[in-house]
Amino acid sequence: MAAAAELTLLEKSLGLSKGNKYSAQGERQIPVLQTNNGPSLTGLTTIAAHLVKQANKEYLLGSTAEEKAIVQQWLEYRVTRVDGHSSKDDIHALLKDLNSYLEDKVYLTGYNFTLADILLYYGLHRFIVSIRVAGFFSVMFRMIFLS
C-alpha cells in the first residue's frame, strides 16, 4: 500500500473529514504533507502522529512516558524493519520476534490500542498470505482481528 493511501485510510479511521493531499519524495516515495500553517511534514510516522493530534486522539500516542516511548519505538520498527526488509528470511525473523513479543500482550503497549498497532497492522498487511501459510502465527492473527 502506498504511503499516501495508508495515510488517507488513517484519516478516515480517525474521523478526520478534510482529506489531505500527499506528495511523495525520492526513491522510497516518502510521503510529504503540506500543512496550512507552517512547514511541510515528511515521513509516514511523523505525519501519522500529526494526524492523531489533529483528531484530538492523543491517547493513541500513549498516555504515560513509558507508553509514549514504546509507541514511538514500534513506529520506528515499522518504517525501518518492516518497510526496510530485504529478504524472505528477514520477514520470517521479524514475524517471529513480533510473535514472541506479543505472547503475553493484547496490544503493542500491553492493554491499550495505539497508533503503533494501526501502522504495524498496515505494514504487515501485505505479508498476511505468508502468515496463513506459516500457520502458527496465532498471536499475530489475534492482533489483526482485534484491531
Which residues lie near another protein (CB under 8 A)? Answer: 23, 25-28, 30, 34, 40-46, 49-50, 61, 65-66, 68-70, 72-73, 75-77, 79-80, 84, 86-87, 93, 96-97, 100-101, 103, 110
Give the nearest distance from C-beta 147 to another protein in angstroms: 20
Looking at the Cβ atoms of 66 and 125, the one nearer to another protein is 66
Looking at the Cβ atoms of 8 and 43, the one nearer to another protein is 43
Residue pair 67/109 in contact (Cβ under 8 Å)? The answer is yes
Quick one: three-class SS letters along 48-90? HHHHHHHCCCHHHHCCCHHHHHHHHHHHHHHHHHHCCCCCHHH
Degrees (nearest 5) of the Cα angle 114, 117, 113? 35
